[in-house]
Structure 1
Amino acid sequence: MQSPIQLRGVTYAYGTGDLARPVLRDVDLTVAPGEVVLLTGPSGSGKTTLLTLIGALRALQQGSATVLGQQLAGATERQRTAIRRRIGFIFQQHNLLGFLTARQNVAMALELDPATTERERLARASEMLAAVGLAEKGESRPDQLSGGQRQRVAVARALAGQPGLILADEPTAALDRQSGGDVVRLLRDLARRRGVPILMVTHDPRILDIADRIIAMEDGRILPANEANSASAA
């Protein structure tokens, strides 16, 4: 089975010419189906930039990146848009629309599928809210939910479209210990049942135990495994 993520020699810089600032340097990374991988490291080490490249939110500059079978080197905007539709994104700020209910926020993830009716989308959204323990909160708006509940809605939204990959950027940063642990364990369990890999950027040492593998970054490079283990232990 092909790996959902295969990166070789990925290098990226902000700016051009004399003003170019390297952010990623010759990054190699492979993520297996169903694997939960955490990206750790200090701020500015390139973690979020790497995540956005894998998520086709930025155009690749140098190297090779195959994500869900699509080569991103030289990909058109149309091809990158198609890949983004197959990825579930979860961010530190849940990005829920305040004027929509929890169920409507989740159903939005299905609107790009012309084969589904509104009734089908709302039914699927209700199923996903039940899966994250919010069956009774479908008609609640974001301001009526706790931080942990809002992030659970974001998890439900990310998984509603049955993505082939989950990318998460600091999903527990705004949550307390209990809520953060609950959200990431729920995300891991739901994704594993579906065989969906997760690549998660985090500074949160409280959630390291959910990972199959921890990768540490520094100065735009992935550290060797022994250094990564030392960094995560610290």
Structure 2
Amino acid sequence: MSCVSTKQSVYFHDLPDTVLAPIQGNFEPVIQKNDVLQITVSSMNVEDVVIYNTPSMATVGGVASAGPQATGFLVDDSGYIQYPVLGQVKVTGLTKSQLSKSIREQLTARKLLIDPVVSVRFLNYRVTVIGEVTRPQVVNIGSDRVTILEALGLAGDITAFGKKDNVMLIRESEDGTRTVKRLNLNDRSLLSSPYYYLRSNDVVYVEPNKAKVASTNTTRQVLPLILSGLSILVIVIDRLVVH
């Protein structure tokens, strides 16, 4: 069985004490089809905003989490939500802040509310972590931004048999295309990579290392021999007892 080197089993073994520059780019997630959104509206007159804060019928169950279920606005296949008074509102491709601004402007322009404050958050922000981790699972994210290290931590971290230098990230875009990216968690460049932050519905797969593969193959080869030997032993004992 091959050995696992220390460099392969630790994160960022080449990272000295340093200060890293912020990652360039906007990593605020955009709204996609089938997302479930919680939209909260507040204004000076509490009675005027009640209709806008009535929960819709879209329900999000707790995946790998406990607590009550949440309700929100489901984004349909055409990219719209059905919003009180305003009717159909196009939301796909927008960030939370952009949608918040859009709804605020519509409410103000139609003189429905005076100086409304609109808050938007995702209710179904989740990532899938599978492979050589302690607890493979779909993880619900409480906030709207999560790093790959946080996601692995929520899944119990990579096991001793996982390959940290070749973690697969699968990401699906709004048009249905899928991007597959290999990440080296031993390389400090990951901390400056645009893939350091995960997006909703990302899939993280940790491959088994050679030690795990060798162990699995050995088990598959030896187990039938052990079972066969036990069968022969049972037959011999049975015959000895009979005679």
* Length-normalised TM-score, structure 2: 0.27
More helix by share: 1
More relative contact order, 1 or 2 (CA 8 Å, 6+ apart): 1
Larger radius of gyration: 2
